[in-house]
Amino acid sequence: MGEQLGCLEEVLTIVSMLSVPSVFFRPKDRAEESDAARERFFVPESDHLTLYNVYQQWKQHDYRDIVRKAICSAYFHNAARLKGVGEYVNCRTGMPCHLHPSSALYGMGHWFNR
């Protein structure tokens, strides 16, 4: 239907946003701050349009590294460093980690050791 209406790219973006875990992070100890930040993206008519708005804001800001900073700060407990070819260890615990086969980094560990 998106193709017939001339909005295929927008529909595909929304479907992609729905296909991943929530783009909004809401830590219990900072719930109010998180909710206030999330409200800046709200489109009152639709959750789907809100997700599209999040993507558009990111795109309009040239896919800036600030998004990477937000992701890294939210998921710091999952951060790992490369130990050897395809070997990773958790930065906090030192426990061995493995990339999921669907990860964009899967199978690329040999590139980082050159």
Give tens-digit pLDDT for 52-110.
998 998 888 887 777 666 666 666 777 788 887 778 888 889 999 887 776 666 666 54
- Asked if 103 and 97 count as a contact pair (C-beta separation under 8 A), the reply is no
Three-state DSSP state, 24:
coil
Nearest CA to 52 among 63, 66, 67, 41? 41
**What value does the mean pLDDT of the chain take?**
80
Report the distance separating Cα 71 and Cα 40, nearest Å: 18
**Model confidence at 112, in pLDDT bands (50, 70, 90)?**
very low
Predicted pLDDT of residue 10: 92
pLDDT tens across 33-58, in order?
888 888 888 888 888 998 899 899 88
Report the distance separating Cα 80 and Cα 93, nearest Å: 9
What pTM was computed for the model? 0.53
74 or 14: which leads in pLDDT:
14
Residue 81 Cα distances to 7, 26, 43, 69, 84, angstroms: 41, 25, 38, 16, 9
